[in-house]
A = this chain, B = another copy of it.
Amino acid sequence: MLGRCLNRPDPGQDTRNMHKKNVFYAQSGGVTAVINASACGVIETARQHRDRIGKVYAGRNGIIGALLEDLVDTGKESAAAIAALRHTPGGAFGSARFKLKGLEENRSEYQRLIEVFKAHDIGYFFYNGGGDSMDTAHKVSRISRQLGYPITCIGIPKTVDNDLVVTDTCPGFGSVAKYVAVSTREAALDVASMARTSTKVFVLEVMGRHAGWIAAASCLAGEKPGDAPHIILLPEVPFAQQRFLGRVKQCVDKHEYCVIVVSEGTRSRNGRFLAEAGTRDAFGHAQLGGVGPVVAEMIRKKHGYKYHWAVADYLQRSARHIASRVDVEQAYAVGKAAVELALKGHNAIMPIVVRKSDRPYRWSIGHTPLSRVANREKMMPARFISKDGFGITAAGRRYLAPLIHGEDYPPYRNGMPRYVELKNIAVPRKLKTGFKI
């Protein structure tokens, strides 16, 4: 009897559901320390509007979850678990490196998406990713109308690369910037204290294949002339080996040590990645190391300095333990805004961060059409790069500085951060058809 009672659907609830569309949320591309904070913003805000929004489903492994009809019901998660997303790095539902093809090339993918969305009564598509994902969200919006099942599509910005256009910054970037600035300052103190008898050169390789935003952020480690980092290598500046090696020597002569931060995408004048340069083994196999060891070895060959190098790789973009509070707040805010804008009737837009002032730092959330951000990339402007190409200007610092403001520590237990693992309970499939990716 009790069992029947508990299992009995609430008819009132059901009736209301008939008029409420569900949400589909997906994470896309490389994850960040704060992408789950955006998810948290979406889900918590949707839960505040139960009168107008039905279920919030998430795609398992991003958009692939939609194509495979592999959805997760976030409604099965407690409020505490959803709140904990705010301080949990990685992608809580799984992300995917999967770009939908053009409409002409593969119309069936889009048709499948709409079919799945229709089957699950999805009225809102929130896609959390970078420039490619904004393109996808834009296309889905158009196609859904063409196919007679219009869906409200909102992009939610996310990328450690900070290369989305229009928005002042991208959630994910501030935290990797803070990690890189803090790590550079800490490692520099180490090297400075060892330089007399040991390591004189330290090279830190950071992410940034096309744009040098992350390497640039390391400038915040220094506060006065002579402070590390002494040299920053950016993809925007063609690498000039002799000038670079000369600068390293100057620096060691003057300060006894030299700290270099290098973007993985640093290229020579001919456009070739430095990481690819001259590092095939005796069998002609491609090099194993990244650009960090290449640069370090180049210095040793020329000057003979003892060196160390580090490659931060995923550590930098998952380092929630040292996230920027500003970044966490903005990541949450764009998630929240996505839902609110959708409810206001907006479509095919992306919430953006608008900077109101540098000092004190003030920002608000605006929005821009997806068509303006899709498939575009924002490079570092030339006015942010010092004349010699090895540093960041005052204007660049002014832009970067507030993005790392504030700490937002996760809770700890037994010395370890308490990151949440969701139950991720699957939504029962409704379609008989499968789909091949």
Contact = CB atoms under 8 A, between A and B. Distances in A.
Interface of A: 27, 30-31, 33, 61-62, 64, 88-98, 178, 181-183, 185-199, 202, 204, 220-221, 223, 278-285, 287-290, 292-294, 296-297, 308-315, 317-322, 324, 326, 401-402, 404-407, 409, 412, 414-417, 419
B310 A178 contact: no
A157 to B, nearest CB: 18
A15 to B, nearest CB: 37
A273 to B, nearest CB: 15
9 closest cross-chain pairs (CB), A and B: A90-B189, A91-B193, A289-B289, A310-B313, A404-B415, A288-B293, A186-B318, A190-B318, A61-B196
A371 B202 CA distance: 36
Contacts of A414: 401, 404-405
A314 B308 contact: yes
Counted per complex, copies of this chain come to 2
Most B Cβ at <10 Å: residue of A188, A312, A315, A419? A315
A288 B281 contact: no
A182 B417 contact: yes
B322 A193 contact: no
A324 B415 contact: yes
A97 B311 contact: no
Nearest to A186: B318
B185 A97 contact: no
Nearest to A407: B412
Contacts of A220: 415-416
A34 B281 CA distance: 40
Contacts of A297: 285, 288
Given A96-B197, A192-B90, A296-B288, A315 B282 contact: no
25 contacts: A61-B196, A61-B197, A64-B196, A89-B189, A90-B192, A90-B193, A94-B193, A96-B194, A97-B198, A181-B415, A183-B315, A186-B320, A186-B321, A202-B314, A220-B415, A279-B281, A280-B282, A282-B284, A288-B296, A290-B293, A309-B313, A326-B415, A401-B414, A404-B415, A405-B415
Given A197-B61, A289-B289, A311-B310, A190 B317 contact: yes
Given A30-B198, A62-B197, 10 more contacts: A30-B194, A61-B196, A89-B186, A91-B193, A183-B315, A187-B313, A199-B314, A220-B416, A278-B281, A289-B289
B280 A186 contact: no
B312 A194 contact: no
Nearest to A90: B189
Given A279-B281, A288-B293, A288-B296, A319 B92 contact: no
Q: Which among A62, A221, A318, A324 has the greatest number of chain B C-beta atoms within 10 A? A: A318
Nearest to A92: B193
Nearest to A35: B193
Contacts of A96: 194, 196-198
